[in-house]
Structure 1
Amino acid sequence: MILGAGEQRWDGWIPTGREDLDLLGRSTWEAWFGERRADALLCEHVWEHLTEAQGRAAARLCFDFLKPGGFLRVAVPDANFPDPEYQRTVQVGGPGPADHPAADHQIVYDFRLLMDVFGRAGFEVELLEYCDEAGRFHARDWDVGTGPVYRSRRLDHRNRDGRLGFVSLILDARRPL
């Protein structure tokens, strides 16, 4: 299931929006799932639209509605990507008019903070793509088929010929068995 899908569509994934599953509204999850639990959730560039406290609450809610062994793949803008234009574009409050996609950004995560948000919710956390404090990009091999993230090293059209034009901080948060 894709949380906050917007226009995003991937084969085999059910797109949802806030009106379907509100990351902060337990009742919408209970109405959707009942006693069932999800195997996998995908959430690309949504968490930054929540405050840190809301992000922590949303992580706990996702944990509650995943099966043991299930996972949530999350991608957000990376606070450590060393490109000034990128940082201007993803900054809190956005770079311009109210209709800009980043206009309601509440936070820009670095890998340590995002790992903490999900770790404290009970998840086992694995970084897939991120920049460290020095701005060096790190990526491990991960299976796009288990949860595609467009704004990733492999899929984003801005990343070509060995040049990174747009990256995300991507992690898997797995509910322990």
Structure 2
Amino acid sequence: MKVIIGAGRTSYNGWLSTQEDALNLLSLESWDRLFEPESVDALLAEHVWEHLTYEEGIIAAKHCYHFLKPGGYIRCAVPDKNFRNEWYQQMVQVGGPGPADHPAATHKIVYDAKTFVQVFETAGFEVSLLEYCDEHGDFHYSYWNEEDGKIGRSLRFDTRNSIEGLGMVSIIIDAKKPLIIKSKS
């Protein structure tokens, strides 16, 4: 089972698209209505975690961990605090750039890569950074397969990016639930 969290209009073949009204990341009861513990193979969340506080992000990550199979993963993307682009930073700022109906109006945090990784490591995941800007604003990229969860706001898939420069980036991680080997004691 593969699940897109906060899918909006996103749908991919083989993935179950969910919205907050069906799957509230912070509600264990909401998870329990849809899934058994350790029953999900993969989760995908693009620009969802910034709508949670840091503490809520850890709770959500712990819920993901609980429902993922050992060896399962979540691919997750959020706006990048270290991307050196004034327009972008105004668009993703906490509280958003304008009216209450703007998608960023409910942003509660803008992550840097270190802090975002920390959220998922705190929940028990092994985390790999796929795309991010470091504290100097330099962009880093490791190849990732879109078949494992496509992130639209990424180096390869956002049309605002070109050979001339970056227009839209995200911090993108893969957070994997370790395989657990039970002792024979």
Using the size of structure 2 for normalisation, the TM-score is 0.93
Shift of 1:105: 0.2
**Deviation string, structure 1 residues 26-65 (Cα, Å, up to 9, x no partner):** 0111110135610000000000000111001000000000
Other structure's SS at 2:106 match:
coil
CA RMSD of aligned residues (A): 0.9
2:183 match: none
2:13 match: 11
Alpha-carbon distance in 1 for matches of 2:125, 2:51: 21
2:49 match: 47
> Which of structure 1's runs of 4+ aligned residues deviate more than 2 A?
none
Shift of 1:143: 0.5
Which amino acid counterpart does residue 122 of structure 2 have in structure 1?
A: R
1:164 match: 166
1:62 match: 64
Q: Indicate if the aligned counterparts of 2:38 and 2:66 stay in contact, CA closer than 8 A.
A: no
Alpha-carbon distance in 1 for matches of 2:162, 2:15: 27
Alpha-carbon distance in 1 for matches of 2:116, 2:58: 9
Number of residue pairs matched by the alignment: 177
1:105 match: 107
| Distance of aligned partners of 1:60 and 1:85 in 2 relative to their CA distance in 1, 3 Å threshold | same
1:147 match: 149
User: How high is the sequence identity, in percent, across the aligned residues?
Assistant: 54
Alpha-carbon distance in 1 for matches of 2:48, 2:60: 11
Using the size of structure 1 for normalisation, the TM-score is 0.98
Which 5+ residue runs of structure 2 have no aligned equivalent? Answer: 180-185
2:182 match: none
**Deviation string, structure 1 residues 61-105 (Cα, Å, up to 9, x no partner):** 000000000000000000000001100000000000001110010
Match of residue 129, structure 2, among 112, 123, 127: 127
Which amino acid counterpart does residue 7 of structure 1 have in structure 2?
A: R
Other structure's SS at 1:2 match:
strand
1:28 match: 30
Other structure's SS at 2:11 match:
coil
Shift of 1:162: 4.1
Indicate yes or no: 2:177 matched with 1:175: yes
Which has more radius of gyration?
2
1:85 match: 87
Which amino acid counterpart does residue 171 of structure 1 have in structure 2?
A: I
